[in-house]
Amino acid sequence: MRYLRSFKEHTILHLMLLPAIILVLVYCYYPMAGIVIAFEKFSGFKGMLHSPWVGFDNFTYVFKMPEFLPVLRNTVWIAVMKMIGNLIVPILIALLLNEVVHTFIKKGVQTLIYLPHFLSWVILAGILKDILSPSSGVVNQVITFFGFNPVFFLGDNQWFRFVLVATDIWKEFGFNTIVYLAALTAINPSLYEAALMDGASRWKQTLNVTLPGILPIIILLGTLSLGNVLNAGFDQIFNLYTPATYSSGDVLDTLIYRIGIVDAQYSVSTAIGLFKSLISLFFISSSYYLAYRLANYRIF
């Protein structure tokens, strides 16, 4: 009765949540019925209910694919490098911005480094292809000016993964600094005053006051990022890679796209997607558990 009375008292608030709940049910939960395709030899003419059941044959086929393990390794490598870079670089930039005294300069720099986050990879891919072009790109013009041979950054497998990681960090590091700048404002100024009275330099204050002050946020964001261990960034890779860089840049999402959309092997692509979802579910659950144990963060 207490819960019923509380529900009646907050009826308007519950009604405000209703559109969001409907959207989640329609776009997140209702499509999950399509998971059954992973266990069928799906035919568009027969539909999900009448396609022949094959059990785990699609998963067996996927695991025996010669390109599956290399693609899985690429996915993990690229995703982990992005996670590390997008954790370290924003922290360093936030610490540097925190030392800027002039508000005008600080706000101007923040605006400039935030801007790439709001540009889509379709736009940035065109810009990067021009900048990194082996013939007319600005980067290779500088390289050849110093007497070195031009580098085909987007067509050489030795460079392509590093380009993916570096450009993703460049795009997102500015926006990711917002959380750390907010955490820096929560540090008690009296701690800096006490450190200054003890003769601590700015470097010592950073090591002994600033970093310990934002350490819980670093631990929290670091553990929560574990859920993205298989999300290497489809938008970026799809707009930058070519068949020449499949061996170093092909990831699970792009493999699913080619098998499911291009080759119309819906059952196989659904099996790969379900495999990825299950692994991601494990890492997401682990990340929330570690966030609770290490940073006392709970979502429920």
- The confidence score (pLDDT) of residue 170 equals 92
Confidence (pLDDT) at 22: 93
Q: DSSP label at 53?
A: B
Per-residue pLDDT tens for 20-45? 999 999 988 888 888 888 888 888 78
Beta bridge partners of 40: 53
Alpha helices in the chain (DSSP H): 2-9, 11-24, 47-50, 57-64, 68-98, 103-114, 121-131, 138-145, 157-185, 189-197, 202-205, 211-224, 234-240, 246-249, 252-257, 266-295
Least confident interval from 18-22, 117-121, 191-195: 191-195
Domains of the chain: 1-55 (no CATH), 64-295 (1.10.3720.10)
Q: Are 268 and 62 in contact (CB under 8 A)?
A: yes
| β-sheet bridge partners, residue 208 | none
At residue 299 the predicted structure's pLDDT band, cuts being 50, 70 and 90, is low
* Minimum mean pLDDT range among 75-89, 125-139, 213-227, 233-247: 213-227
Distance CA(189)–CA(185), nearest Å, equals 9
> Span 171-179, mean pLDDT?
89
pLDDT score, position 81? 92
How many angstroms separate the CA atoms of 74 and 251, rounded? 6
Torsion of the alpha carbons at 115, 117, 121 and 122, rounded to the nearest 10 = -40
36 near 48, Cβ under 8 Å?
A: yes
Q: What pTM value is reported for the model?
A: 0.83
Distance CA 35, CA 278 (A): 12
Least-confidence region, from 2-6, 100-104, 183-187: 2-6
pLDDT number for residue 193: 82
The residue among 135, 136, 128, 172 whose CA lies nearest residue 154 is 128
Residue 15's alpha-carbon distances to 28, 34, 72, 85, in angstroms, are 20, 29, 43, 42
Average pLDDT, stretch 265-284? 88
Nearest to 92 by CA among 207, 157, 177: 177
- Token reading at 104: 């005008």
